[in-house]
Structure 1
Amino acid sequence: MPETPEIPDIPAQIPALREDPETEGTQDAAGTVSGEDGDRGTAEPEAEHGDAGFDLGEPGFDHSAPVVAESLVPESVRQVAARATLPFQAARADLSFGTAFWYNDLIETGGDHEVIRQYLVTATSRTLFEIGQWTLRGDLTDPEQPVDELVMGGFAKRWKVLEGLGVAVMPTVELHLHAERKGWRWDTQEITDGLAAQADDIAAIGAEPMPAYILGHEADDSGRSAHPDRTQRLLAGEVCRPAPDAPLTWSDPLPTGFDGAPVFAALPLPDEQLKLLCLGVALPGEGGPDAPATVVAFADLRPAIHALAPHRRRHWWQRG
């Protein structure tokens, strides 16, 4: 039998739940997960989209970005990504707030199947805590659950830091196993290969500001509550790239809770239409809390995340 990879390949739609999943992480109490590393656990190791009942014609799976009208860009962002974000915080007095989003790294495609690895993506600076706390949005569960919290011990160790980018990713296995133990499944949207911007898309953005949007979860940072409302908000602004070798810059500072959120824009097509793209991850500016935010583009993120996948074994009949 082939060995189970360190980070199992899993489909974006999880198969039927098992009654007694095996996992090295243990659930200490309701809403609490413990274990040494978040990528331990079991999942379908090489599930294919065809086996999971996917429509390969959905935006993203055919490797082409959705085409939208200019007036419909904000609503289009909500349609493709409203269920792609998850708010979290440090479960301690300083209450460091962030937003993560689900991303499907495309490992292999051929014929009528695709193999992916799924991660949560966010700002590294919001992951450096021993205990983290996710806000489990009821609209991301099937069947729908009341809003709840999931506390994770060893939080910082569960993230894989993408060196030099200020971004970290967490394999989603533990979150799927938590849902399995609770008797429900995640019903999410993900940033897919087709929706994530390519290098050519980023190169088309110049010094002239263009409209863009950040989809994140704001937080009340007044300190009045340890469990503030984390309502999702679509923040309008602009992005630009002052020089060909410069990073993308957001027009304003980020609100509290938006660190790590996905950034969207619609780039023009020759036929006067627009293609909707996720440009990358929003990070706080280097000049302090009042500095304009930066955007780490998927042109840099995609290869860094893809490099995390262990080499896939091929059987003798697959060689050629």
Structure 2
Amino acid sequence: MTDDDPLADLVLEHWSASTLPVGPRSSPGTAFFYNELVETTPDGEQVREWWLTADRLTRTKVGEVRLRPELIEPTGAAPDHLAVPDFEQMWSRRSGVAVTSTAFLHEHAARKGWSWSTTQVTDGAVAKAEHVRAVGAQPCPAYALGHVTREPDEPGEERPLAIATSRVARDPDGVVRWQGTLPDGFAGGPVFTVEQRGTREFHLRCLGLLASADRNPTVLTFDTIHSLIEELVRPKPPKRGFFRRR
């Protein structure tokens, strides 16, 4: 974890409202909102909103999502938890990443008379293919967001948001990894890296998400995420087959 780090403060300032705790205490994790820019027109930007997490957190019939009170409008209008049936079937997956549309979250809120007050990790803040390729064997600073667990008798929020700091690097097998350990609950959480521009200028980018909270976990990078989303939204070719001539 980290204290008195201005970059950690910036990560929290911009993206602390983009995450939700998922999973039971026995298998806790984090999911986050991603806002994909589709096109820019004179009338504004057209976007698609996705919910991202680690594949391993989605393999359950009924999903458990904690509704953070500070992200609900009006305050107190929603319960603490949301049980999502058919959770396993609603996700698309590739190489450890799981992606689904956030429509069901907004539709549920509308039916219950409240709305979400989240932020999203936007297209402008995520790593493009060239940024992913630039991650090499030399470690670079990295930050991760995740919802940790408290013991039942501990005071305060049951699944508070936390930030961890370490470094990421590409191992000899070409896999991008977070260096070191993380508390339970960080699986699926977003990872941010620092792109240095000169001596005083820098840019924070979301490199991807954590596959697990094990030691030296894989960072599932945004090139994989983008590839999966592109496949989901690509128009399907017309079906070919036999037809009956009249």
Secondary structure of 2:7's partner?
A: helix
Q: Distance in 2 between matches of 1:183 and 1:154?
A: 23
The match for 2:208 among 256, 275, 280 is: 280
Q: Is the 8 A contact 2:164 2:182 kept in 1?
A: no
Quickly say closer, same or farther: Cα 1:79–1:112, change in 2 above 3 A: farther
Gaps of 5+ in 1: 1-70, 313-320
The residue type equivalent to 2:137 in the other structure is A
The residue type equivalent to 2:129 in the other structure is A
* Structure 1 or 2: more strand by fraction: 2
The yes-or-no answer on 1:134 pairing with 2:58 is no
Gaps of 5+ in 2: 237-246
Secondary structure of 2:205's partner?
A: strand
The residue type equivalent to 2:87 in the other structure is F
* Structure 1 or 2: more helix by fraction: 2
Q: Distance in 1 between matches of 2:10 and 2:152?
A: 34
* 1:243-288 CA distance string (max 9 Å, x none): 5x71211012332111100001211013631001111011127xxx
Q: Is the 8 A contact 1:134 1:151 kept in 2?
A: yes
Residue of structure 2 in register with 1:47 after alignment:
none
Q: How does 1:176-195 map to 2 (within 5 A)?
A: 176-195=106-125
Quickly say closer, same or farther: Cα 1:306–1:114, change in 2 above 3 A: farther
Instruction: State the TM-score, normalized to the length of structure 1.
Output: 0.66
Q: Is the 8 A contact 1:81 1:191 kept in 2?
A: yes
| Number of corresponding residues | 230
The residue type equivalent to 2:28 in the other structure is F
Residue of structure 2 in register with 1:101 after alignment:
32
Task: Please tell me the root mean square deviation across aligned C-alpha atoms, in Å.
Answer: 2.4
Q: Distance in 1 between matches of 2:144 and 2:126?
A: 14
Q: Per-residue deviation at 1:170?
A: 1.8
The yes-or-no answer on 1:84 pairing with 2:18 is yes
Q: Distance in 2 between matches of 1:268 and 1:81?
A: 20
The residue type equivalent to 1:157 in the other structure is Q
Q: Is the 8 A contact 1:101 1:190 kept in 2?
A: yes
The residue type equivalent to 1:311 in the other structure is P
Q: Distance in 2 between matches of 1:122 and 1:260?
A: 4
Secondary structure of 2:232's partner?
A: coil
Q: Is the 8 A contact 2:31 2:52 kept in 1?
A: yes
Q: Is the 8 A contact 2:177 2:216 kept in 1?
A: yes
* 1:46-85 CA distance string (max 9 Å, x none): xxxxxxxxxxxxxxxxxxxxxxxxx521111011101000
Residue of structure 2 in register with 1:251 after alignment:
179
Q: Distance in 2 between matches of 1:147 and 1:236?
A: 32
Residue of structure 1 in register with 2:171 after alignment:
242
Q: Is the 8 A contact 2:60 2:87 kept in 1?
A: yes
Residue of structure 1 in register with 2:235 after alignment:
311
Q: Is the 8 A contact 1:212 1:237 kept in 2?
A: yes
The residue type equivalent to 1:102 in the other structure is F
Q: How does 1:1-320 map to 2 (within 5 A)?
A: 72-90=6-24, 95-145=26-76, 148-161=80-93, 163=94, 165-220=95-150, 229-243=158-172, 246-270=174-198, 272-284=200-212, 289=214, 291-311=215-235
* 1:198-257 CA distance string (max 9 Å, x none): 12222222212121111010124x7989xx8100000111111235x7121101233211
Q: Distance in 2 between matches of 1:169 and 1:203?
A: 22
